[in-house]
Amino acid sequence: MFYTRTYLHQRACQHRVSDIIQNMIAEAFVKADEHIRIEGSGGKMFTLSTAIDDPEAYTKLTDQVFEQILNSTDPKLEEARKILRNIIERQLYKCLGQIQTGERTNLTQVKPQIWEKRLAKPFNLSADDIMVTSVNIDYRIKDVHFYRKTDINKAIKLSKEEVSKLLPQQFEEQLFRVYCKKTDQETLEAAKKHFDRWCIDKKPQEGFIIPPELAQQLLDNE
């Protein structure tokens, strides 16, 4: 059951396409935040980001917000509208690749803004043209309790050995994905090569695991 759940997250829920669509929607909503007003309790108006503080306004945060931005003609929503239109037309940001951490790391700890600047600089791109996202995939069994038939009202924890000796030592992995918002072939090919070189330069002592194909490339060059 846990394996199936993890497999689905790898292949669908947190697939790189699902990941970037989710982040593109979030980016569009951030750009539209100050230009959309939602009426809440007592007629008070809220933005998208503050509507969570009012139950009545929060219930109005439905898929309709996506449609409202997409079908608007307000010049202030042009940037957000363009992003959503690109999603509809499958003009998605392209994934340059991903790098895995040895231990779980908070996205703010890796300072994605610095990554974005370094990856954008060689191509005269701005940091806004690069997006770094974090994906966590795990078995969700750290705090799982079990019930015995002899006492169905009492939950107990089992040791790893009691469950199975075939279980892995680690039950999660974390990936940092890097996307390029520019989609012309020349920029993408150059950015991909630079990303590969950058991954190789991220030494193991920095807590990152070099992708197998790049590790082999590094060995071939030595």
Ranked by mean pLDDT, the top range of 61-75, 95-109, 138-152 is: 61-75
Contacts of 201 (CB under 8 A, 6+ apart): none
Average pLDDT, the chain: 84
pLDDT digits (tens, 9 = 90+) for 21-64: 999 999 999 999 999 999 999 999 999 999 999 999 999 999 99
Domains in the chain with CATH codes: 1-92 (no CATH), 93-133+173-222 (3.30.70.2760)
Helices then strands, each counted (H, E), the chain: 9, 8
Question: What contacts 126, CB < 8 A, 6 or more positions away?
Answer: 120
pLDDT digits (tens, 9 = 90+) for 155-214: 988 777 777 766 667 777 888 899 999 888 988 888 888 888 887 776 555 667 766 666
What b/e readout covers 176-200, taking b as 16+ CB neighbours within 10 angstroms? bbbbbbeeeeebbeebbebbbebbe
Q: Of residues 106 and 35, which shows the higher confidence score? A: 35
Residue for token pair 């509208």: 81
Selected residue with higher pLDDT from 80 and 202: 80
